[in-house]
């Protein structure tokens, strides 16, 4: 067998790497950059629940895993055939394995195909059931700790808006189609984006009309929140009238929302998670509101 000359070994290794490259994709879920984590790591880390693979299995989020399963069970039990619905959901998630992995900026190869599918199936069903119970109080169980504990919904709202705590929105849409639509309540419900909007709206400071004009394709729940702040072509430019100025920016957006409460001259800042911080810098106009990009492109 012919040996590869020593001077060509390094080229052979490059050829192997090139041969195994995955196609480029439009990443929508990535890690928060280290320079932002250095300022306040807690602001970008989930407190009680992990969604998707980036924080899965961390000690501080394990307690919610059993609640995810209870919510998933309730969601499936409203379908005409729970076992069939679960089977259809599992097959749908598996079918999109490559597309799901392509949404993440970093490889998630440590999770096998079935492990990742199970994770997204459980997480996705939990999110849907959470939105349903939030929207329809009669669906809430008497012993449901999520709605019986004053701080849990607020914390879940925060955690579900974290950049590193997302799953692809198309996976949620498929689960919604296979579990909610066939159920007894499915025909009377709003759309999935509307249910999500209702869950987050108290932290968004916008009305439902904003969602109507912001019907864009979204990559995940955080993208939906982001879209609610984007101007439509039909809206007048608020420049010079004390409103927030939106500037097209080709850089990647992170989102950090600040709720500020004035009390007796003391300002309490509560970081809920994101509203528009770009990697290339932001600034807020003197009148207050959404952050304005300082990166023109």
* pLDDT tens sequence across 276-294: 343 333 333 343 333 333 3
Confidence of residue 11 (pLDDT cuts 50, 70, 90): confident
What is the predicted pLDDT for the residue at 210? 61
pLDDT at 120: 98
Q: What is the pLDDT of residue 229?
A: 74
Mean pLDDT for the stretch of residues 65-92: 96
DSSP 160-217: HT-TTS---HHHHHHHIIIIITTSTTGGGS--HHHHHHHHHGGGTT--HHHHHHT---
Q: pTM of this prediction?
A: 0.75
**Among 164-168, 200-204, 223-227, 269-273, the range of highest mean pLDDT:** 164-168
Residue 56 is classified by DSSP as T
Q: Is 254 exposed, middle or buried (0-12, 13-18, 19+ CB in 10 A)?
A: buried
Pick from 200, 271, 205, 240: which is nearest to 42 by CA?
271
What's the pLDDT score for residue 15? 87
8 A C-beta contact, residue 128 and residue 175: yes
Identify whether the C-beta of residue 42 lies closer than 8 Å to the C-beta of residue 256: no
The pLDDT value given to residue 200 = 92
Nearest Cα residue to 131 out of 230, 253, 224, 227: 224
For residue range 53-67, what is the model confidence (pLDDT) as tens digits?
Answer: 999 999 999 999 999
Is there a contact between 178 and 89 (Cβ–Cβ < 8 Å)? yes
Count of CB atoms situated within 10 Å of the CB of 104: 20
User: CA separation (Å) from 48 to 152, 158, 289?
Assistant: 9, 10, 28
Tens digit of each residue's pLDDT (9 = 90 or more) over 181-218: 998 787 788 899 999 999 998 877 766 666 654 556 78
Count the residues in the chain.
297
Question: For residue 104, what are the β-bridge partners?
Answer: 29
């Amino acid at each position: 067998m012919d040996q590869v000359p020593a001077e060509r070994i390094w080229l052979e290794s490059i050829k192997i790497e090139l041969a195994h490259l995955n196609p480029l994709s439009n990443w929508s879920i990535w890690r928060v950059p280290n320079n932002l984590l250095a300022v306040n790591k807690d602001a970008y880390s989930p407190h009680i629940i992990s969604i998707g693979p980036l924080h899965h299995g961390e000690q501080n989020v394990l307690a919610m895993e059993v609640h995810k399963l209870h919510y998933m069970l309730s969601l499936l039990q409203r379908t005409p055939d729970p076992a069939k619905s679960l089977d259809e959901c599992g097959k749908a998630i598996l079918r999109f394995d490559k597309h799901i992995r392509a949404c993440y900026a970093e490889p998630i190869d440590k999770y096998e195909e079935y492990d990742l599918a199970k994770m997204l199936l459980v997480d996705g069903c939990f999110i849907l059931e959470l939105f349903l119970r939030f929207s329809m109080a009669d669906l809430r169980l008497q012993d449901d700790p999520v709605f019986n504990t004053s701080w849990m919904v607020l914390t879940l709202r925060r955690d579900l808006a974290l950049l590193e705590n997302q799953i692809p929105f198309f996976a949620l849409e498929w689960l919604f189609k296979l579990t909610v639509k066939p159920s007894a309540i499915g025909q009377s419900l709003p759309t999935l984006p509307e249910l999500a909007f209702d869950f987050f709206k108290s932290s968004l400071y916008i009305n439902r009309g904003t969602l109507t004009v912001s019907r864009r394709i979204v990559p995940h729940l955080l993208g939906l929140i982001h879209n609610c702040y984007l101007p439509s072509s039909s809206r007048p430019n608020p420049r010079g009238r004390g409103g927030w100025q939106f500037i097209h920016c080709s850089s990647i957006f992170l989102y950090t929302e600040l709720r500020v409460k004035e009390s007796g001259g003391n300002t309490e800042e509560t970081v809920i998670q994101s509203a528009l911080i770009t990697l290339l810098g932001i600034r807020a106009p003197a009148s207050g509101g959404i952050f304005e990009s300082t990166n023109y492109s």
